[in-house]
Amino acid sequence: MYYQIYTKLSRSTNAIVISVYQRLAPEHRLPAAIEDGYSALLWLRSLAQGEQNEPLLSHADYNRVFLIGDSSGGNIVHHVAAQSGTADLSPLRLAGGIPIHPGFVRAERSKSQLEQPQSPFLTLDMVDKFLGLALPVGSTKDHPITCPIGPEAQPLGNLKLPPFLLCIASRDLIIDTQMEYFEAMKKANKDVELLINEGVTHSFYLNKIAVDTDPETDAETERLIAGIKQFIKNH
């Protein structure tokens, strides 16, 4: 599913896309995926420092590294960026974060979860089952990994974050919590932009059949890629 969208994104932005290998739940529960994402950054730093060699990245610009991920990957973007803000990654520079339809939720159902249409890529049952498998044993959806704006999470104002482009879909089941995150980021004086795709649902761009046959889905996918391209160009 991801190959077609990220190859298109790579061509559009003239960027090298690195896919991070992540250990899977429930054998490796969160924060394992976040640790794996951060380890990938440390690997890139070792390449930037000349400690290791990777011919495929010989033309990489380590001064402009962006984190990007969708759904639960959007959560990982936030937490890897937050962890990076506590370390010296030079000569690597984290230039931005792009969470797409991040899986931010609370233990209590939001209005959008109760009213928005469910889609093949996200249903309430999927949210409950996937997070039940992934979150630390005994945790609820109010855990900071899934609710970085909740009372259990570190205040956003205390985090050192790069510029963010938050991408959301107007018919996403979890749009309410995503918008809470955006407003909290703005209140904390973080550099965050908002890109809204209208009339589409969670991870709509992964539905290749819809992208190929539905003009609206295709147009919104192009809008998403264009917005990401502009964000990367600006940073």
Instruction: Tell me how far apart the alpha carbons of residues 186 and 36 are, in angstroms, rounded to a whole number.
Output: 28
Catalytic status, residue 176? no
Instruction: Tell me how far apart the alpha carbons of residues 59 and 142 are, in angstroms, rounded to a whole number.
Output: 42
- Report the Cα–Cα distance between both ends of the chain, in Å, rounded: 28
Catalytic status, residue 10? no
3-state secondary structure of 9: helix
Instruction: Tell me how far apart the alpha carbons of residues 130 and 60 are, in angstroms, rounded to a whole number.
Output: 35
Catalytic residue among 70, 72, 84, 172: 172
For 14-61, the DSSP string reads T----PPP-PPTTTS-TTHHHHHHHHHHHHHHHHHTTSS--GGGTT--
Catalytic residue among 71, 84, 119, 203: 71
Alpha-carbon torsion angle 123, 144, 90, 158, nearest 10: 130
**Catalytic site positions:** 71, 172
